[in-house]
Structure 1
């Protein structure tokens, strides 16, 4: 295998093949249903909420599609290089959050991956949420699926700006460190 990044064109071609195989897998419908059902546990204060006018009911299906595409791109890079670190390409924060919901279905996803011949790539300490307008991810994505949905594929600078706004709003209701702590006591009524 190669330790250099494949071209966006080769990555796009392989990602399209991976995604097509996943979507026709016998357990895809169950995987999609389980992932979207997981929505009641989506509690990240700085992931999905960076989406303007975020609405779980209307945003979860489009985000599921984007998460699949991101994982297909990562799997394609791995397939072409065999290198896990190279495969951790930049992904937008909201899309990355959806990939976490997918990975929370390990048995289904592992069986689909085994049958369709791709390697699931995601390791939190190696992930890159520094997606930018002209990066490798965007170039490969555009070659296979067209322009990424700007609602979900937010560039890092915009995510950072929105996180600052969210952090201030959370602090105004006693949720400090962007929702990572509070001093609320739950005394019995």
Structure 2
């Protein structure tokens, strides 16, 4: 992580709330939301969204979209205060981070919206931190901006690790290794 001094929680919260409001007022926001939520046919992550209890796309997509927006706004606020992209890679909960990937896949729309609102979208997989914990910096900034984050989506890192272990065992029991990253299925041998 960067050695930059992190901005105060209140400073981040105020800027993040402003960025989020401006994004939502943008004339292309509706198209961006629709495109991000339409990403559903490609949501085959085995270790991001499935760590949510009783996860369903229909019930969870809209709330996760809001949480993803908030996460991106928090990161943009830290970047605005520091000018440091590594410092802006604050800890985000795994399911929320997964939603930001669906948003980032709408690169043209998101880039145009961010430019119009004067925000910089921060996300680089090799620098991201999915070690979110209640009571940490991200949690404090979120609370100051919008109140308590929904615990359904903002899962502590240790709980995510535990749930991923449960999922890995279940996936292995149906022949999917490495949490869905490999399998031994021969499709020609499976009757249609």
Both structures adopt the same fold (TM-score exceeding 0.5): yes
Matched, 1:23 2:37: no
Q: 1:142 is matched with which residue?
A: 143
Inter-partner Cα distance in structure 1 for 2:132 and 2:27? 32
Unaligned regions of 5+ residues in structure 2, if any?
none
For residue 85 of structure 1, report the CA deviation from its aligned partner: 0.3
**Cα distance in 2, alignment partners of residues 31 and 6 from structure 1:** 29
Q: Quick one: distance in 1 between partners of 2:153 and 2:59?
A: 13
- TM superposition score normalised by structure 1: 0.98
CA-atom RMSD in angstroms: 1.0
TM-score normalized with structure 2 length: 0.96
Distance in 2 (alpha carbons) for counterparts of 1:65 and 1:133: 19
Give runs of ≥4 in structure 1 deviating > 2 Å.
none
1:34 corresponds in structure 2 to: 35
Aligned residues: 188
Unaligned ranges ≥5, structure 1:
none
Report the equivalent of 2:47: 46
1:163 aligns with 2:164: yes
1:129-159 Cα distance to aligned partner (Å, 9 max, x none): 0001111000000001100000000000000
Farther off after superposition, 179-188 or 149-158? 179-188
* Cα distance in 2 between the residues matched to 1:150 and 1:4: 28
Deviation for aligned residue 1:28: 0.1
